[in-house]
Amino acid sequence: MPKPKNAMEIFQVLDKSNCRECMEKTCLAFAGAVYLGRRSIEECPKLDRETIERFSEKSEHENSIEQNRDAYLADLKKQVARIDLSAAAERLGGRFSDGRLTLKVLGKDFSVDAAGNLSADIHVNPWVAIPFLDYVLNGKGITPSGRWVSFRELKEGQERYPLFQKRCEAAMKQVADHYTDLFDDMVHIFGGRQVAEAFESDISVVLHPLPKFPMMICYWKPEDGLASSLNTFFDEKGADNLEIGSIFSLGAGLALMFERLSQRHGFS
Ligand code: SF4
């Protein structure tokens, strides 16, 4: 269905019991949060699958992004086939051997050969393959500064934030709310590092989805009737190594990986 015109359209399908299981004070508050993209409709446990699917359909904009994604990925592979991979390895701090450039992605080897073919120690989804190839082609090898900024503070981040919030932060938050081992998995499976709680969060983990592109994920647990929250932060200099479209793609790809992981453990 097309995007709801207002929060009341969402409110109409809710249970209206104000039961607070979604951690919002009222159903109306929940409807408003869904309308603004802060919450996802499936976070109300009282809704049936049909209603959830009706309200979760992708917008035309999202559909066009997905259609263009595959063409863009094919184009990036062609471009990579035309560059000197050994020079790229030097620029990016990677390894070049047997005609392949290898970089660490989430602590695992991720390689591309001279024909643009990808191989990795982890499952490669297209959302992650795109930023990897973009990084190989255009990454400047700039060293991160250690100062964290939000997606909105990145160049052109403000206008892309609503979709990033939905496809990355809201999707990750939903996994984190139900699958409490997620942050341990980030550390043990994805080579992350738990750091001092930043921005007064309850948990902060730094991941390295690309060598000079750290990303911090902060999670606030639900408390005193307030819903949980999850935000991502990027190094202000590291983000010079990747353009905003690729950062969006990376966030969506990581959220998808975390969802799959929680499904494998029977949490969704
Ligand atoms: S979970 Fe939230 S939205 Fe759903 S019925 Fe309860 S208060 Fe309303």
Q: What is the pLDDT of residues 100-151, one digit of tens each?
A: 999 999 999 999 999 999 998 877 788 889 999 999 999 999 999 999 999 9
C-alpha–C-alpha distance, residues 241 and 141, integer Å: 7
Whose Cα sits closest to atom 3 in ligand 1? 27
Among 108-112, 155-159, 199-203, 257-261, top mean pLDDT goes to 108-112
21 CA closest ligand 1 atom index? 1
In the chain, domain spans: 1-57, 61-138
CA of 1 to the centre of ligand 1 (A): 22
Whose Cα sits closest to atom 8 in ligand 1? 27
Which whole-number Å values give the CA distances from 29 to 20, 35, 172, in the listed order?
10, 10, 21
Per-residue pLDDT, 86:
95
CA of 16 to the centre of ligand 1 (A): 7
Per-residue pLDDT, 32:
83
Cβ density class 194-217: b for 16+ within 10 Å, e for less: eeeeeeebebbbbbbbbbbbbbbb
Mean pLDDT of 27-46: 81
C-alpha–C-alpha distance, residues 27 and 21, integer Å: 10
20 CA closest ligand 1 atom index? 7
Question: CATH homologous superfamily of domain 1-57?
Answer: Electron transport complex subunit B, putative Fe-S cluster (1.10.15.40)
CA of 137 to the centre of ligand 1 (A): 47
Q: List ligand 1's pocket residues with C-beta within 6 A.
A: 14-15, 17-22, 24, 27, 30, 44-46
